[in-house]
Amino acid sequence: MTVPVIDLSGFSEGDESHRARIASDVNEACRSIGFFSVVGHGVDPEIVETAHRTALEFFALPLADRMDAVVPEPSYPYGYRPFTAEALNKSIGGAGRPDLKETFNMGPLSAAPDSYSPASDSAERGVWAPTPWPSVMPELRTALEAYYQVMADLSATLMNTFAYALNLGSGWFEPFIDNHPSAMRLAYYPALEQPPEAEDLRAGAHTDYGTLTILRLDAEPGLQVQGADGNWADVSAPAGALVVNLGDLTQRWSNDRWRSTMHRVVVPEGHHDRARMTMPFFHNANWDALVECIVAEGEEPKHEPVRAGAYLMDKFRSTVE
């Protein structure tokens, strides 16, 4: 499946008719599939490639050096997780087998909000917890923090396109995302010595939890989305494009007009002996943001209001505990 390609060039500086055209394309993609790719996004390709190259060097380190940055306990959200330490399918109540991947997660660059205190809810302590970094590779932090920042900036632009597409007006989402505890992941899928069992996946079927995800899609196949008919289709995107998909919170906000689409990462036949790595950026609303359905006249809300941070951490912890 070639997801829709949307050119963001000039959205922030363009006139109302130009923004309206882009917003219309975003609305159609979010309504029909929940995935699209963006070009004209303004992200410096050197920052992207430096982060990707440095991340691959991290996963090439001896296991003992990677374990220097291991999560201190299973429910800790940031740091290194060894092979098969997570099962994403559990986030939707499934009983999927452990994912065939290693990960490194990093947390927010911003400081915790003024209302935060170490005595606050344990889930809130988790989302503002520091990221463990490998002492043998200080350049990893430099590269990933630069990538995180440009993804955060792009997310702000995308959230503004969402505001236009939902007819909410410019900046509607800004009070909900002005101190967002977003996270970034390195998902490394190592080469396998033999083809896996049919039920083994590199990432089990799941939806994402927050507002949106931005993904640098590598050349290796494997990412699939589930269509409305229940069938799975491979995802591809043009070179230099970044793939965007909606998370659960945006589907709730839109009162299900838009889709947080089920997706997974498979091991394509004949590709088990090839490693791959992706770098999803998971944008989230502020910890205490109240996500309530935006209803049109005559509509009823389809979901109860939720606090963004607690929803996020409950979903995450279901995959690792």
pLDDT for the residue numbered 118: 59
pLDDT for the residue numbered 95: 66
pLDDT per residue as tens digits for the range 274-288: 999 999 999 999 988
Q: Does residue 223 carry a pLDDT above 60?
A: yes
Q: Please name the residues in contact with 263: beta carbons below 8 A apart, sequence gap of 6 or more.
A: 35, 205, 206, 207, 223, 224, 225, 226, 235, 245
Residues 169 and 115: their CA atoms lie apart, in Å, by 28
pLDDT for the residue numbered 87: 79
Q: Please name the residues in contact with 5: beta carbons below 8 A apart, sequence gap of 6 or more.
A: 36, 37, 38, 39, 237, 238, 241
Let me know if domain 5-318 sits in CATH 3.30.450.20.
no
pLDDT per residue as tens digits for the range 7-50: 999 898 878 889 999 999 999 999 999 999 999 999 999 999 99
pLDDT per residue as tens digits for the range 139-175: 999 999 999 999 999 999 999 999 999 999 889 999 9
pLDDT for the residue numbered 196: 87
For residues 53, 218, 38 and 180, what is the CA-based torsion angle, rounded to 10 degrees?
A: -60
Q: Provide the residue ranges of all domains of the chain, joining segments of one domain with +.
A: 5-318
| Torsion sign, CA atoms 232, 217, 127, 153 | negative
pLDDT per residue as tens digits for the range 69-120: 999 988 888 999 999 887 787 776 766 688 899 999 999 998 777 666 656 6
Residue 56's SS3 state is helix
pLDDT for the residue numbered 312: 86
pLDDT for the residue numbered 229: 86
* pLDDT mean over 210-235: 90
